[in-house]
Structure 1
Amino acid sequence: MRTRLIHLINPKTDSLTTRPIYFNRALYSPLAGLLAVAACIPKDQYQVVLTDENIETIDFDLKADLVGISAMTSYVNRGYEVADQFRAKGVPVVMGGVHPSFMPREALEHADAVVVGEVELVIDKLLDDLRQGTMRGTYKSEKLHPMVGLQMPRYDLLKKSRYVNRTFVQTSRGCHQGCTFCAEPLMNGLKFRYRPVDEVIHEMENCGARTISVNDADFFGTPERPKEVMRALKGRGIQWQAGVTSKLANDDSMLELAAESGCTMLSIGFESISRETLKSVHKHVNRPENFQALVEKVHSYGIMVFGLFMFGFDGDTTSVFDDTVNFNVTAGYDACAYSVLTPYPGTLTWYEMKKAGRIVSFDWTMYDQGHVVYRPGGMSADELRIGQNSAYMGFYSTQSIASRFPVRGKRHRAQWMIYNLFMRKASRTEHIDSIAPATAEPSLAPMPPILPVKREWRAAVLEAADGAGPHMM
């Protein structure tokens, strides 16, 4: 009897970090979620084939029993195209990931089934239904996974030579921050769920790589838990990087352990150099007056700082671009990413802008943090797009790179240069020349997998969703 086959696909993203730039490699692999999905599929029952369309073509003639597609908003339309092609050949399709989780009714117009939220607790039911020919509709667990006993991601499926950063280890899910523009708390919750430390270390020791990215929304989310992981990492010869928020990144005991355990870089969501702007989007943890001192402190431990900034908040005017870049260069940030504020469907920012009639484009392909899909408050859409591009050009200019190079200290200079060269070239190969054209509103409304905790936000979401059209809880 033929071995049953499941084909997992990441549709083409074409983002700054997933575009092959140097030596036919992308800076980051986008496959962490699909590797975790593959781990849940019984090896003795199914063969799994994994395709990342950013680096390879999709084999539409592959004889698969099921196609699984994961998609974020900016490339979900390509995911729908892929799904439609396979279904036309009679192959059943299941979709998952952030966008289908927030808009399952829309995804079901292109797929036989949709996994809403986490896959681990519904995969057995989905595969049972597949065998019986009854797989359809939404699959959503009534509870969140306790994060104990997770299977090792299928790193053997990864084409390792095609990415600079290819190994992502998750130590927790959830985030304490309730930023209005972010999907994380509505996808994984405001409370942290932690994997046992011994299971985390086991994966790091057996993933086949000695350079690892911690794939948490906020690795420094609480004072003690990250210290447990870092103590266990000491002496193992593993180099790692992680995304954190600014508050505990300012803790000397945390940074000391990070350096001792092999941390080379921290990505920090600074978002804006305006305190009023940060307060308006509930990013209360950030204090712009402390940003430069924080960068200097992290550097003192030999750790690089990758600053994440966003333009297009209502308090932003055209001066924000030069002001931010000048600050970044003066403060000596090692690398920076600049995104355009994007009202992803189902986030609180989406509902606020939708209610105010400010969203212009509902073409999901434009939701890439580069195109402008709404009417900004303090500038024109053209000024926002041009300003974001100028920020990249300024920060990654030859003069800026030369002035910021870490001549002294213990920062990893080769890694520093790789990031600056990749980001410089990637930002110069963007194909975004204008704002997103206006489109009609979608007939289906988003519904977050997890409703907001705050009563007024929860009411706002339900009211907006009811007013926008059909939705699914």
Structure 2
Amino acid sequence: MRSRVIHLINPKTDSLTTRPIYFNRALYSPLAGLLAVAACIPRDQYEVILTDENIETIDFDIEADMVGISAMTSYVNRGYEIADKFRAKGVPVVMGGVHPSFMPKEALQHCDAVVIGEVELIMAKLLDDLKNGEMRGTYRAAGLHPMVGMAMPRYDLLKKNRYVNRTFVQTSRGCHQGCTFCAEPLMNGLKFRYRPVDEVIREMEECGERTISINDADFFGTPERPKEVMRALKGRGIKWQAGVTSKLAQDDEMLELAAESGCTLLSIGFESITRSTLTSVHKHVNRPDQFAALVEKVHSYGIMVFGLFMFGFDGDGLDVFDETVKFNIDANYDACAFSVLTPYPGTLTWYELRKANRIVSYDWTMYDQGHVTYLPTQMEPDELRVGHARAYENFYALPSMAKRFPWTGNRNRAQWAIYNAFMRKAAKTDHIDTIAPPTADPSVAPMPPLLPIKKEWRAAVLEAAGAPDPETSHLEPAPIACESDSQGAVAAE
């Protein structure tokens, strides 16, 4: 008798960090979510096959009992194409990830079921329905996962030789910053949920790697919790990197513990060098007048700084590109990633721009943080596109790299060279020669998995979605374990 098979698929992303560049490797693996999904599937009942289309082709002839597809907005259309092909063969398809969680009605036009938000608490129900031939509609847990007793991600499924950074360990979910352009607080909540420290350390020790990426929205989100993790990491010989916000990255005790516990790089969302711009998108934690000193301080502990910046805010004029890059070079950032402001469906930025009739394109393939999908206020869309490309070209120019190279100090020079080489070459292959063409409005409105707490934001979301505003609509999921949507069995578009 054939073993039951579940085929998990990550559609092709084709981003700067997931595109194989050197030695047929990508800088980052995008599979952390699917490895966690695979961990929820009983090994004694199913064989799990994992495909990352960024590095391999999809075998549409695999005899699978179910296909699971995870997708973010920029590659959800490819996910829909994959789903349509498998459904045409009679294979049940379930979709999850950020975009299907925010737009389940759209996703259900291409799949049998959608997992909204976290999968851990509803996987058993999903698989029971699959066995009974009843898997359809939307599935969401009645509450947020307590982050205790989580199964070890299925690292054995990962093709480790195809990625530079391949092992991602999650120590928390949620983020209390509430930036208007970000999906995290509407997906995982404004309050941090923490895994027990011993479970985090056990995963790091047993994952098979000694170089780890901590996969939190903000590892330095609160003053004491990251220190507990880092104290437990000391002396274990593990090298790690993490994404953090700028405020607690200035804490000397935090940085000393980070260095002592093996931290080599911190990715920090600086976003803009203009304070008023940061305030307008509720990134209150950032202080541009302290950025250069922060970079210098982090460097003093032998830790690299990967700066994340965004262009296209309402306060950005044509000088923002060159001024930002000059600042980045002068401040000696080790690496930077620049993105175009993107109004992801369901975020507060989406609702603000849509209400102002400023969103031009709803072609999700254009929502890649490189194409311009809306009307900026102080420049033409094509000027934003060209300026964005020029920022990459200038920051990763050879004179800039020579100036920024860590000739002195304790930063990891090999890691610095790998990051800069990958980003330089990836940017050169990222040929975005047009802005996003106009499209018709989407047929359905997004609905965030978690509604905003702020009353006026919640009202804007519900008005756009044509939904009532229940008095209990705070940052908690609706109290239902599983609901079936009437569109669940509808054929593809």
**Given the two structures, how large is their TM-score scaled by the length of structure 2?**
0.95
User: SS in structure 2 opposite 1:339?
Assistant: strand
Which amino acid counterpart does residue 422 of structure 1 have in structure 2? Answer: F
1:372 aligns with 2:395: no
Contact 1:446 1:471 in 2 (8 A): no
Structure 1 residue 471, shift from structure 2 partner: 12
Deviations 1:243-284 (CA, angstroms, capped at 9, x unpaired): 000000000000000000000000000000000000000000
Distance in 2, matches of 1:112 and 1:391, equals 43
1:140 aligns to what? 140
Query: Are the counterparts in 2 of residues 175 and 190 from structure 1 also a CA contact under 8 Å?
Result: yes
- Cα deviations by residue, 1:391-421 (Å, 9 ceiling, x for unpaired): 0000000000000000000000000000000
Q: Which residue of structure 2 lines up, in the alignment, with residue 177 of structure 1? A: 177
Aligned residue number for residue 408 of structure 1: 408
Query: 1:271-350, aligned counterparts within 5 Å?
Result: 271-350=271-350
Contact 1:444 1:471 in 2 (8 A): no
Deviations 1:65-115 (A, max 9, x none): 000000000000000000000000000000000000000000000000000
Offset, 1:33: 0.1
Partner in structure 1 of residue 434 of structure 2: 434
SS at match of 2:399: helix
> Is this contact kept in 2: 1:67–1:91, CA < 8 A?
yes
1:456 equivalenced with 2:456 (yes/no)? yes
Structure 1 partner of 2:385: 385
CA distance in 1, matches of 2:73, 2:448: 14
Following the alignment from structure 1 to structure 2, what is the Cα–Cα distance between the partners of residues 376 and 33?
A: 33
Query: Hey, what's the Cα distance between the residues in 2 that align with 1:318 and 1:211?
Result: 40
On the 8 A contact 1:7/1:48 being kept in 2, the answer is: yes
Amino acid at match of 1:370: G
CA contact (8 A) 2:137 2:486 kept: no
Give the match's secondary structure for 1:433: coil
* 1:25 Cα deviation from its structure 2 partner: 0.1
Distance in 2 of aligned mates of 1:291 and 1:148: 36
In 2: Cα distance, 1:442 partner to 1:219 partner = 35
RMSD: 1.1
Aligned-residue offset at 1:465: 1.7
Instruction: Assess if the C-alpha contact under 8 Å between 1:246 and 1:269 holds in 2.
Output: yes
- Which structure carries more relative contact order (alpha carbon 8 Å, separation 6+)? 2
- Quick check: 1:351 aligned with 2:351? yes
Unaligned segments of structure 2, at least 5 residues:
468-484, 488-493
Amino acid at match of 1:442: P
Map 1:2-17 to 2 at 5 A. Answer: 2-17=2-17
* TM-superposed deviation, 1:431: 2.4
Q: Is the 1:351–1:460 contact (alpha carbons within 8 Å) kept by the matching residues of 2?
A: yes
| Cα distance per residue 1:274-325 (max 9 Å; x no partner) | 0000000000000000000000000000000000000000000110000000
Instruction: Tell me the SS of whatever aligns to 1:58.
Output: coil
Structure 1 unaligned residues grouped into runs of 5+: none
Aligned residues of 2:447 and 2:465 also touching (Cα < 8 A): yes
Q: 2:482 corresponds to which residue? A: none
Take 2:6 and 2:463, find their aligned partners in 1: how far apart are those partners?
39
- The aligned residue for residue 156 of structure 2 is 156
Residue 244 (structure 1) aligns with: 244
**2:95 maps to what in 1?**
95
**AA at the equivalent of 1:31:** L
Q: Which amino acid aligns with 2:146?
A: P
Q: 1:78 — aligned with what?
A: 78
Aligned to 2:112: 112
Q: CA separation in 1, counterparts of 2:399 and 2:486?
A: 51
2-structure distance, mates of 1:401, 1:443: 46
Q: 1:225 is matched by which residue type in structure 2? A: R
The count of residues paired between Structure 1 and Structure 2 equals 470
Identity, % of aligned positions = 80
Distance in 1 (alpha carbons) for counterparts of 2:30 and 2:373: 24
* CA–CA distance in structure 2, aligned partners of residues 413 and 206 of structure 1: 28
Q: Can you list the C-alpha shifts for 1:363-385, whole angstroms capped at 9, x where unaligned?
A: 00000000000000110000000
Deviation at 1:237, TM superposition (A): 0.2
Answering whether residue 214 of structure 2 is matched by residue 208 of structure 1, we say no
Letter in structure 2 aligned against 1:343 = P
